[in-house]
């Protein structure tokens, strides 16, 4: 998980031991008095004894006072330093809890493309699609793509994504501060070609920014903090080649988001888990709840199975009711946008938070929450 920034601890001096200083002062006073008594020459010099005793007492008191001032100054600097550290941690949490909103959520997969299809999938009222036997292995395919070539299918998916967006959009499409793409170069070219024909008012860049999972979410959230009027477009598609050596049948999918500062559902950047950092997965899940200002894990969590992470069962999250393997198969690099899209649709429909878990391009696992807008979407105000 993303660690808080670390700062060195300001070492505070120990408080002066008053009893020891009193004992030292008494001893020095007696030694000064005894020494003066041994050195006096006559009765008339007895005042020197009291003078040296008072001088020893005064020096001891002055040293004790200096030691006390040093301790107080050290304590003051340590307190000021800790306040500055707490302030930096607070600012870090504000940035870490920054949210982004999904205004448009389009999802195409073997089980459907309309929001009504995904409502049935999430409520487990729709049966998984039937697998097809291809020359290289089993696959789950989208009915609207007919070619046997994976590259051609991805181009068809990219065009279908734009046409579906044109069909379902509820407000005019405006310019974007950033366009992110997850998929092949031929798929991107097909996407751009169809966008130019369907949305001529939208100018897409020659080269898109690369979708990089949680890192991209963090990047967009930071840019939205600086300017809440910005909007971003995230899209991608992938058709996986069938292989008899894979645990799941080959799948294919397409996703499109229009991201802004506010919308029907909001989400923070999420947390990441890696066994190499010695983080406990349960602690990472708790951090994800804190990031979304939630006390308890939501009832729903969308994910694909992760047989290499048996500790998922100990997180307290519901990791069994919304498994997507049988509806999608192997979606390759599209796992993260697919589960976030489903979680967002579930949160928008049910008006309750929904968790998500998926592999990340740079980490074994990324996880987080999607919440309906207005359901505590500003955790930094707590």
> What is the pLDDT of the chain when averaged over all its residues?
86
- C-alpha 374/C-alpha 277 separation (Å) is 35
Q: How many CB atoms lie within 10 A of CB 160?
A: 20
Q: What is the pLDDT of residues 23-34, one digit of tens each?
A: 676 666 666 666
pLDDT (0 to 100) of residue 245: 79
Q: What is the mean pLDDT of residues 108-115?
A: 93
- C-alpha 108/C-alpha 167 separation (Å) is 14
- pLDDT higher than threshold 90 for residue 57: no
- pLDDT higher than threshold 90 for residue 370: yes
pLDDT (0 to 100) of residue 67: 76
Q: How confident is the model at residue 145 (pLDDT cuts 50, 70, 90)?
A: low
Backbone angles phi, psi at 274, to 5 degrees: -145, 125
Range among 84-98, 219-233, 267-281 with highest mean pLDDT value: 219-233
- C-alpha 260/C-alpha 254 separation (Å) is 20
Give the position of tokens 């979708």.
211
Q: Taking CA 317 as the corner, what is the angle to CA 315 and CA 320, rounded to the nearest 5 degrees?
A: 110
- pLDDT higher than threshold 60 for residue 160: yes
Q: What is the mean pLDDT of residues 67-71?
A: 79
pLDDT (0 to 100) of residue 45: 55
pLDDT (0 to 100) of residue 190: 96
Residues in the chain: 382
Q: How confident is the model at residue 40 (pLDDT cuts 50, 70, 90)?
A: low
The burial class, CB within 10 Å (0-12 / 13-18 / 19+), for 344 is buried
Q: What is the pLDDT of residues 301-333, one digit of tens each?
A: 999 999 988 889 889 999 999 999 999 999 999
SS3 state at 348: helix
Q: What is the pLDDT of residues 215-273, one digit of tens each?
A: 999 999 999 999 999 999 999 999 999 888 788 999 999 999 999 999 999 999 999 99
pLDDT (0 to 100) of residue 199: 93
Q: How confident is the model at residue 43 (pLDDT cuts 50, 70, 90)?
A: low
- C-alpha 317/C-alpha 314 separation (Å) is 8
As a whole-number percent, the residues of the chain with pLDDT over 90 amount to 57
Q: Which of 334, 332, 344 is nearest to 369 (CA)?
A: 344
Query: Cα separations (Å) of 296 from 253, 288, 292, 325?
Result: 31, 11, 10, 26
pLDDT (0 to 100) of residue 52: 63
Residues with Cβ < 8 Å from 52, sequence gap 6 or more?
Answer: 32, 33, 35, 36
SS3 state at 28: helix
Q: Which long-range contacts (CB under 8 A, 24 or more apart) does 275-278 make?
A: 275/364, 277/1
- pLDDT higher than threshold 80 for residue 55: no
Q: Which long-range contacts (CB under 8 A, 24 or more apart) does 309-312 make?
A: 309/281, 309/364, 309/365, 311/280, 311/281, 311/282, 312/281, 312/357
- pLDDT higher than threshold 80 for residue 348: yes
Range among 132-141, 163-172, 258-267 with highest mean pLDDT value: 258-267
């Amino acid at each position: 998980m993303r660690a808080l920034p670390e700062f060195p601890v300001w070492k505070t001096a120990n408080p002066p031991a008053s009893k020891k200083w009193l004992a030292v002062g008494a001893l020095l006073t007696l030694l000064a008095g005894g020494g003066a008594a041994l050195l006096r020459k006559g009765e008339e010099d007895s005042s020197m004894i009291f003078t040296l005793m008072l001088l020893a007492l005064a020096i001891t008191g002055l040293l004790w006072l200096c030691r006390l001032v040093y301790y107080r100054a050290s304590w003051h600097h340590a307190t000021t330093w800790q306040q500055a550290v707490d302030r930096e941690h607070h600012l870090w949490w504000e940035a870490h809890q920054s949210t982004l909103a999904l205004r448009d959520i389009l999802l195409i997969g073997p089980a459907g493309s309309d929001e009504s299809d995904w409502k049935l999938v999430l409520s487990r009222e729709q049966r998984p699609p039937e697998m097809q036997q291809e020359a290289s292995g089993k696959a789950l395919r989208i009915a609207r793509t007919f070619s046997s070539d994976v590259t051609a299918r991805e181009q068809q998916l990219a065009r279908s994504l734009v046409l579906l967006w044109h069909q379902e959009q509820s407000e005019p499409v405006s310019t974007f501060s950033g366009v992110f793409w997850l998929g092949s170069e031929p798929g991107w070219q097909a996407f751009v070609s169809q966008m130019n024909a369907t949305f001529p008012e939208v100018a897409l860049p020659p080269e898109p920014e690369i979708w990089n999972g949680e890192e991209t979410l963090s990047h967009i959230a930071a840019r939205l903090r600086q300017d809440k009027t910005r909007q971003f477009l995230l899209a991608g598609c992938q058709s996986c080649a069938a292989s008899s050596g894979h645990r799941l049948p080959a799948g294919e999918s397409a996703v499109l988001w229009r991201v802004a500062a506010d919308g029907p559902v909001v989400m923070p950047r999420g947390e990441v888990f890696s066994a190499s950092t010695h983080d406990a997965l349960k602690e990472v899940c708790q951090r994800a709840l804190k990031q979304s200002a939630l006390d308890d894990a939501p009832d729903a969590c969308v994910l694909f199975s992760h047989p290499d992470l048996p500790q998922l069962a100990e997180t307290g999250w519901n990791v069994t009711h919304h498994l997507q393997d049988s509806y999608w198969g192997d979606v390759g690099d599209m796992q993260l946008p697919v589960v976030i899209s489903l979680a967002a649709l579930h949160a928008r429909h049910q008006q309750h938070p929904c968790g998500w878990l998926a592999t990340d391009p740079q980490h074994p696992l990324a996880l987080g929450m999607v919440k309906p807008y207005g359901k505590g979407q500003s955790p930094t105000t707590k």
